[in-house]
Structure 1
Amino acid sequence: MTINCKGNLIDLSTPKVMGILNVTPDSFFDGGKYRDESAILKQVSTMLQEGATFIDVGAYSTRPGAEYVSEEEELTRIVPIVQLLVKNFPDILISIDTFRSKVANSCLFHGAAMINDISAGNLDARMFTTVAKYRAPYIMMHMKGTPQTMQKFTGYEHLLKDILYYFSEKISLARASGLYDIIIDPGFGFSKSLEQNYEIFKKFQLLHHLKLPILTGISRKSMIYKLLNSEPSQALNGTTALNMIALQQGTHILRVHDVKQAMECVQIFEAIGKGTDSL
């Protein structure tokens, strides 16, 4: 599988790593860490050196119960960061974590490469056509409700069947709007109970029926640290374990806070796939 990012064909037959850059004051793990230019540039440089193919920039925390952020505030936070990164890393492939078409449009105009939408277009009807205009890849995630209400919507008749039906509808609408480079994200932690998150892992192979690249984002999430009675700061080992399981299940992109450890997972996974002679 390949996706086209700003004229570059990215081959996903080897799994890729997406490094997370939150420029928000309230993200659950790294909120407030990257609020000045030097800290941002240092962190992005580190993630790129460690092997990240994509950098996912978000300016609106979507953790459960996150505070509402206005569109104007989101634009004020994120556009200067896109400009800063494009200026300092001309070949960077920036993913924009937003559910607003105006934010997506502005960031793509200023050099971002793809859009990561937690709502799959549900929260902004103009999202599909906006991204299609730039012929950019589009990550659509499964979620019900909004970041403020999503944990009220964890009732499913059949979890994986419901998720597959959701994606089938969204993919059809996206393609009708001119979107073709589509990546799906099952939305671990979004409108899911702890048990439901692990049910997705048990039945992960069903997601391949959609015949699209899959992104897995479980980095330091509550499905790990609540299970282990710890905190996000102590959830790296659990994250690494689940990242390797995700790779074994056929995920194409790992979205992570810790790029080095995720890249080590990919390297080991690839070595196993190529046989013991690689070790």
Structure 2
Amino acid sequence: MTIYYRPIVQMDAKMPTDAVLLHGGPLWFDRVEPLERGVRHGLMPASELPSASLDVLSAPRTLPGLPKDRAAIMGVLNVTPDSFSDGGKFTSSKAAVEHAQAMIAQGANVIDIGGESTRPGAAFVPEDKEVARTAPVIAALRAAGIEVPISIDTRKAAVAQAALSAGATMLNDVSAMHYDSAMAEVARRSRAPICLMHAQGDPKTMQENPQYDNVVLDVFDHLAERVEVAIAAGVAKERIIVDPGIGFGKTQAHNLALIRNLSLFHTLGCSVLLGVSRKRFIGNIGGAERAEDRASGSVSLALSGLMQGVHIVRAHDIDEHRQAFALWRALHAQ
């Protein structure tokens, strides 16, 4: 059976001499938890890790255009009429540009644009309509002088290509190239970083009783397989980002288990993205029915991601995340 290794990530200034710097620091670990299906293990010293695993966990990771010294904040810009949190607010290019400019002023390092809602129960959007929603907005952002990386949130290769032609520089595929295998060629040819996200089922049905044998290891194995598919297609590993897909075909218990074990995903050798902003389970736990009232809960979970070394946090409430992250960095500066 496969044994997986989850680093127990620490941030204290008093670091043991045998500690390993996660991606070169400042976080570190000196113990790991072996994970195996059907077997319970105790913690083991990091020094006993297989050398290949140690190399993967210690190697620095950076993405073009994003901060090298801290986690990037990815601002959400949905140009859809039906997204769960901001549907219909930014469908015009003028409104979209103004919102993007506001997010950047507040601290967003990248803007993620989506033209098809992936909320539970969302209807399919034809690719021509999705292109019509997204490409003109991306062109308008560039025409307005916006220079930060722009990500296109789509599972369709034609939409991704149109977005790149309009000025996008990153790809964010919620199907991890399952929906449209041509996405791999778009990523290879463009050399744009691509995020591969785990989702169980289609958005329309994904929340209808999702089941896993072991949600953490099942999601890990799925992403490991999709990373290998991307590499085999010619996508450079250093340009691949992985996302466990919080809320995409998962129950509240599944979501919490994945967040508790985020550090495991570093062993895939890719940058890690966490997207929890304003999700329904935050409202369920925190008592916030309206999505726009879930900023505090979103920030809380994002900080848990920072403590486990995630590289990108996808968020709606930029100023709240920026402020919390700045205080977190100041508190743990060494």
The two structures share one fold, judged by TM-score above 0.5: yes
Offset, 1:153: 5.9
With the length of structure 1 as denominator, give the TM-score of the two structures. Answer: 0.93
In 2, distance between residues paired with 1:43 and 1:80?
Answer: 15
Deviations 1:152-201 (A, max 9, x none): 36211111111111111111110111112000111000010011100112
In 1, distance between residues paired with 2:147 and 2:190?
Answer: 17
In 2, distance between residues paired with 1:126 and 1:247?
Answer: 33
In 2, distance between residues paired with 1:12 and 1:68?
Answer: 37
Residue correspondence of structure 1 range 151-162 to structure 2 within 5 A: 151-152=207-208, 154-162=210-218
RMSD: 1.3
What corresponds to 1:113 in structure 2?
Answer: 169
Q: Is the deviation greater in 93-102 or in 258-267?
A: 258-267
In 2, distance between residues paired with 1:249 and 1:268?
Answer: 16
Offset, 1:211: 2.1
Aligned: 1:272 with 2:328: no
In 2, distance between residues paired with 1:237 and 1:136?
Answer: 32
Aligned: 1:238 with 2:294: no
Identical-pair percentage = 36
1:228 to 252, 269, 286: 286
Offset, 1:14: 1.1
Aligned: 1:213 with 2:271: yes
What corresponds to 2:62 in structure 1?
Answer: 2
2:244 to 186, 197, 200: 186
Residue correspondence of structure 1 range 138-157 to structure 2 within 5 A: 138-152=194-208, 154-157=210-213
What SS does structure 2 have at the residue aligned with 1:157? coil
In 2, distance between residues paired with 1:206 and 1:92?
Answer: 29
* Count of matched residue pairs: 271
Equivalent AA in structure 1 for residue 98 of structure 2? K
Offset, 1:35: 2.0
Q: Is the deviation greater in 213-222 or in 89-98?
A: 89-98
What SS does structure 2 have at the residue aligned with 1:184? strand
Equivalent AA in structure 2 for residue 51 of structure 1? G
Offset, 1:131: 1.5
Aligned: 1:35 with 2:91: yes
**Gaps in structure 1 of 5+ consecutive residues:** none
What corresponds to 1:137 in structure 2?
Answer: 193
In 2, distance between residues paired with 1:168 and 1:105?
Answer: 25
- 8 Å Cα contact 1:12-1:252 kept in structure 2: no
What SS does structure 1 have at the residue aligned with 2:285? coil
In 2, distance between residues paired with 1:48 and 1:102?
Answer: 27
Q: Is the deviation greater in 160-169 or in 84-93?
A: 84-93
Offset, 1:272: 2.3
In 1, distance between residues paired with 2:188 and 2:212?
Answer: 31
Aligned: 1:52 with 2:108: yes
